[in-house]
Amino acid sequence: MIGARLAGRMRRPDLTSRQLDVLRLIVKGRSNKEIAEELAITIVTVKLHVGQILTKLGASDRTQAAMTALQRGIIHSE
């Protein structure tokens, strides 16, 4: 039971709904500016979300975050 919970957390870290929105757009290849425009938030806010996403996924950059999200099933490609 504990192992299953840990596996679930490794697969799907505690990302907020806004972080998931940003991550979906990262996976689609959008720039920070495009993400800001699409979500009606500032570029500074996008950068904060990206930093938090990288930390939570243990990724070193956006590309690795996108690949990790797809591999773990956090985001599904369309």
Q: What is the CATH number of the domain that holds 66?
A: 1.10.10.10
Residue 11 in any domain: the answer is: yes
5 pLDDT higher than 70: no
Residue 76 in any domain: the answer is: no
Residue 8 in any domain: the answer is: yes
Looking at residue 38, its pLDDT comes to: 98
Distance, CA of 37 to CA of 55 (rounded, Å) = 24
Cβ(70)–Cβ(77) below 8 Å? yes
What is the total count of domains within the chain?
1
11 pLDDT higher than 80: no
E strand or H helix at 26: helix 17-27
Token readout for 27 is 């996976």
The domain containing residue 11 runs over which residues?
2-71
The pLDDT mean for the chain works out to: 89
Distance, CA of 31 to CA of 38 (rounded, Å) = 10
